[in-house]
Amino acid sequence: MITDPWPARSGPLLLRHPGPGELDDLHALRNDPAANRFMLRTSVDAPEFRREWLEVPGSDTDFSCVAELDGALVAMGFLDVVDGMGQPGMPPRTEGVLGYIVDPKHWGRGIGSALARGLLDAAFGPLGLRRVTASCNADNPASVRILEGLGMRREQHGVQDSWHADLGWIDGYQYAVLRSEWDRPHAADH
């Protein structure tokens, strides 16, 4: 059984599970056109969204969380534990995929970086993963800065590899970092 990494601190943020009374506000943030401009799905259904978040605390693969700053929800983070590419004998559930959405009212304050750092700390700490990937729209300079600023390596530039509901075919970047790489450069950050 994997240990639930939440609650945890990452810089000024408290990363935790949301309460049921916070899900309507989170849904509004997820469907905010400014916040989800670079998400492939620009809107999600409220009942499905609520159901998915209510299932997170009991999941052994979904370690999504919200980020709280001074008592206010400012972002949501996504961390899924996944199997690798399926080579024979490969240990299962050793990899993770992370993502985040930051409330536009809090852009430019380091929230995305602190949240992504907390997700990586959880992935390589209590969850014991060996590799984490993250993808972003190539035209999203804020996410590029966050991922590269955390030392994640760009492994792929997919040319028109993703369909976006509003933008059509878009380019995407995929980043990755190994636990051995995360432990070395960031040991002084903690």
CATH number of the structural domain spanning residue 45:
3.40.630.30
How far is the C-alpha of 2 from the C-alpha of 174, rounded, in Å?
Answer: 26
Is residue 79 a part of any domain in this protein? yes
Residue 119 domain boundaries: 8-189
CA angle 70, 59, 181 (to 5 degrees): 70
Give the pLDDT confidence score for residue 167 in this predicted structure.
Answer: 83
Is residue 1 a part of any domain in this protein? no
Structural tokens at position 137: 């729209």
Cβ–Cβ under 8 Å, residues 153 and 112: no
Give the number of domains in the chain: 1
Is residue 109 a part of any domain in this protein? yes
Which ranges constitute the DSSP H helices of the chain? 23-30, 46-55, 111-124, 141-149, 179-186
Is residue 3 a part of any domain in this protein? no
Write out the E strands in the chain: 8-10, 13-16, 65-69, 72-82, 95-102, 131-137, 153-164, 168-178
Regions of the chain with pLDDT less than 50: 187-188, 190
Is residue 54 a part of any domain in this protein? yes
This prediction has a pTM of: 0.91
Give the pLDDT confidence score for residue 184 in this predicted structure.
Answer: 65
Bridge partner list, 8 = 15
Q: Treating both helix axes as pointing N-terminal to C-terminal, what angle do 141-149 and 111-124 enclose, rounded to 10 degrees?
A: 40
Is residue 2 a part of any domain in this protein? no
Is residue 178 a part of any domain in this protein? yes
Is residue 143 a part of any domain in this protein? yes
The DSSP letter of residue 189 is G
